[in-house]
C-alpha cells in the first residue's frame, strides 16, 4: 500500500510548491492506516481545476465540472479534486452542483464518516478534524457532524454504512445507527443501481453477517427492492456460515433461495446485469436438485452454475461434498451440444427430415450420451437416431 502513496507524493509536493495545499483523502487513507491494500489514490487540493492544469504537464479532464482533473505521472493517472462543498441537496440525493473552496476543513466536513474524512499530507502528517483516528482504532463508523442531517442530505450514506461494516468489520456507533433507523425510508429515494452497488459490496464483505444484521435491524432492508416484509428469510440468510462469498453469484443464489423468490424478478428489481441474472437462474435451479443432482441436471446447469450451486450448498449443508459433485460434472461424457459427435446437419444428411422432430431426436441422443447409455460416436448416434421410435 505504501508504494502507491509514495509514487504519488511528487503530485502533492508540486502543488504545495506552487502555493496550494494538497492531501491524500478518502478511502485510500483509511485503508492504508488499517494496513489494507489501497485501490484508488484520491488527492484533494486547494487549487482550482484550471490551476491544477497549470501545475502539471500532462492532465486529462475527467470530471472537471466536479473539480476533478486526472494528473498523469509515470504512466499512472491520479485523480486530483479541488476542495469543495456540496450544497442544495434535493430529494435526499447528492447534489449535482458543487462549490469549490480553498479550505480543507470545508471539504472534510462534507464527507460521510469520520474514518473517511482524514487527510494525509506528503510528510505523513494526518489532518484529523473529527476524531477519525480514534474511530479507526476502535473500528467505529461515525457520521461526520449530525448523523440525522447527513443521512437526510444523502440517503445513500446509510447503505454505505452497512457496506463498510461488512467490508471493514467496523461497528456503526449508536447515534449513527439511530439516525439510520430514523431515516431508513429515505433509501427509497435513491436509484436502485446505487443501492445495489453498495449491497453487492456488502454481500462480498468479510463481515457480511454484521452488515446484514444492521441492514435488517435498522429497517433499511424494508426499503430495499423486494426485501420488505422478509425479516425472517433475511435473518436465516444472515445466519449462514460466515465464510465470505467467493462470488456475487453465490450470494444472490442463496438470497434467492431464502427469499423463495425466482432470481429473474428478484435480480431485475435490483437492476442487475443480464449475465448475473442468467448465471443465478442456472445455479438456483441446480441448487434445488442438491445434494444429489442427476447427471442431466449437472449437464444442463453448465460448469459455472455447478461451481456456484455446489459452493452455495456448502453454506446450507456444511458436510456437503462439493468436490465430488464437481468431479461428477467434470467426468460427464459431454459438456455442451458442440461436444456431441453429431448435430442437426449430420442428421439431415443422414436422411432425417428437418423440423421439430429433429430437435427432439437430438435432445434424446444428448440425454443418452450424458447418461452414458450411448457412446459419443457418429456411428452409434446415427444408428440410434434411425432406431428412434418417434
Report residue 280 as a C-alpha cell. 443465478
3-state SS of 323-389?
A: HHHHHHHHCCCCCCHHHCCCCHHHHHHCCCCCCHHHHHHHHHHHHHHHCCCCCCCHHHHHHHHHHCC
Q: Which three cell numbers stand for residue 58?
A: 500532462
| Contact map string, positions 113 to 132, toward ligand ATP, x by CB under 6 A | ---xx---------------
Sign of CA dihedral 56, 59, 61, 66: negative
Contact present, 215 and 162 (Cβ < 8 Å): yes
Binding test (CB under 6 A) with ligand ATP, winner from 39, 97, 357, 386: 39
Q: Which three cell numbers stand for residue 21?
A: 495545499
Q: Is 145 annotated as a binding residue?
A: no
Residue 287 CB neighbours (<10 A) = 24
Q: To the nearest whole angstrom, how small is the minimum distance from the Cβ of residue 119 to ligand ATP? A: 10
Q: Give the C-alpha separation, 113 to 130, whole Å.
A: 9
Q: Could you tell me how many residues of this chain bind ligand ATP (CB under 6 A)? A: 12
Q: Is 154 in the site for ligand ATP (CB under 6 A)?
A: yes
The beta strand positions in the chain, using DSSP E, are 22-25, 42-45, 59-63, 68-73, 76-82, 84-86, 98-100, 119-120, 126-127, 140-141, 171-172
Binding region for ligand ATP (CB under 6 A) out of 8-16, 72-80, 109-117, 267-275: 109-117
| Identity of the residue, 160 or 257, whose beta carbon is nearer to ligand ATP in the bound complex | 160
Residue 110 counted as an annotated binding residue: no
Q: Which is nearer to ligand ATP, 157 or 208 (CB)?
A: 157
Strands 42-45, 126-127: pairing is: unpaired
Closer to ligand ATP by CB, 108 or 309: give it: 108
Query: Per rule CB under 6 A, is residue 211 in the interface with ligand ATP?
Result: no
Which part of the chain contacts Mg ion (CB under 5 A), choosing from 27-35, 97-105, 366-374, 377-385? 27-35
The smaller minimum CB distance to ligand ATP, of residues 112 and 249, is found at 112
CB of 246 to ligand ATP, least distance (A): 19
Q: Does 111 bind ligand ATP (CB under 6 A)?
A: yes
Report how far residue 211's alpha carbon sits from residue 203's, in angstroms, rounded to the nearest whole number: 8
CB of 161 to ligand ATP, least distance (A): 10
Which residues contribute to the site for Mg ion (CB under 5 A)?
27
Which residues contribute to the site for ligand ATP (CB under 6 A)?
26-27, 39, 42, 94, 111-112, 116-117, 154, 156-157
Amino acid at each position: 500500500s505504501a508504494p502507491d502513496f509514495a509514487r504519488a507524493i511528487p503530485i502533492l509536493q508540486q502543488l504545495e510548491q506552487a502555493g496550494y495545499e494538497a492531501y491524500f483523502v478518502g478511502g485510500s487513507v483509511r485503508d492504508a492506516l488499517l494496513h489494507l491494500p489501497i485501490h484508488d489514490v484520491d488527492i484533494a487540493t486547494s487549487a482550482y481545476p484550471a490551476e491544477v492544469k497549470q501545475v502539471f504537464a500532462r492532465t486529462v479532464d475527467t470530471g472537471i465540472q466536479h473539480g476533478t482533473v486526472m494528473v498523469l505521472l509515470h504512466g499512472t493517472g491520479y485523480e486530483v479534486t479541488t476542495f469543495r462543498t456540496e450544497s442544495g441537496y434535493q430529494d435526499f440525493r447528492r447534489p449535482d452542483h458543487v462549490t469549490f473552496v480553498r479550505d480543507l476543513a470545508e471539504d472534510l466536513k462534507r464527507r460521510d464518516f469520520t474514518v473517511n474524512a482524514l487527510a494525509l499530507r506528503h510528510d505523513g502528517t494526518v489532518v484529523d478534524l473529527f476524531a477519525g483516528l480514534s474511530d479507526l482504532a476502535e473500528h467505529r463508523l461515525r457520521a461526520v457532524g449530525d448523523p440525522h442531517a447527513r443521512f437526510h442530505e444523502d440517503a445513500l450514506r446509510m447503505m454505505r454504512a452497512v457496506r463498510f461494516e461488512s467490508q471493514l468489520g467496523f461497528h456503526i456507533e449508536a447515534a449513527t445507527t439511530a439516525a439510520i433507523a430514523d431515516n431508513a425510508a429515505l433509501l427509497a429515494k435513491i436509484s436502485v443501481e446505487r443501492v445495489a452497488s453498495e449491497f453487492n459490496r456488502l454481500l462480498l464483505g468479510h463481515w457480511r453477517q454484521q452488515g446484514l444484521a444492521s441492514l435488517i435491524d435498522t429497517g433499511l432492508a424494508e426499503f430495499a427492492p423486494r426485501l420488505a416484509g422478509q425479516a425472517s428469510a433475511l435473518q436465516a440468510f444472515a445466519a449462514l456460515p460466515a465464510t465470505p462469498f467467493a462470488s456475487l453469484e453465490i450470494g444472490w443464489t442463496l438470497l434467492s433461495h431464502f427469499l423463495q423468490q425466482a432470481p429473474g424478478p428478484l435480480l431485475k428489481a435490483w437492476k442487475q446485469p443480464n449475465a448475473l441474472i442468467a448465471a443465478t437462474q442456472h445455479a438456483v435451479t441446480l441448487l434445488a436438485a442438491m445434494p444429489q443432482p442427476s447427471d442431466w441436471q449437472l449437464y444442463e446447469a453448465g460448469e459455472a452454475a455447478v461451481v456456484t450451486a455446489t459452493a452455495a450448498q456448502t453454506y446450507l449443508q456444511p458436510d456437503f461434498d462439493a468436490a465430488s459433485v464437481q468431479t461428477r460434472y467434470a467426468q460427464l461424457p459431454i459438456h455442451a451440444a458442440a461436444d456431441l459427435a453429431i448435430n442437426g446437419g449430420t442428421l439431415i444428411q443422414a436422411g432425417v427430415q428437418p423440423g421439430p422432430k429433429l430437435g427432439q431426436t437430438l435432445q434424446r441422443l444428448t440425454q443418452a450420451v450424458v447418461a452414458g447409455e450411448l457412446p459419443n460416436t457418429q456411428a452409434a448416434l446415427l444408428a440410434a437416431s434411425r432406431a428412434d421410435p418417434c
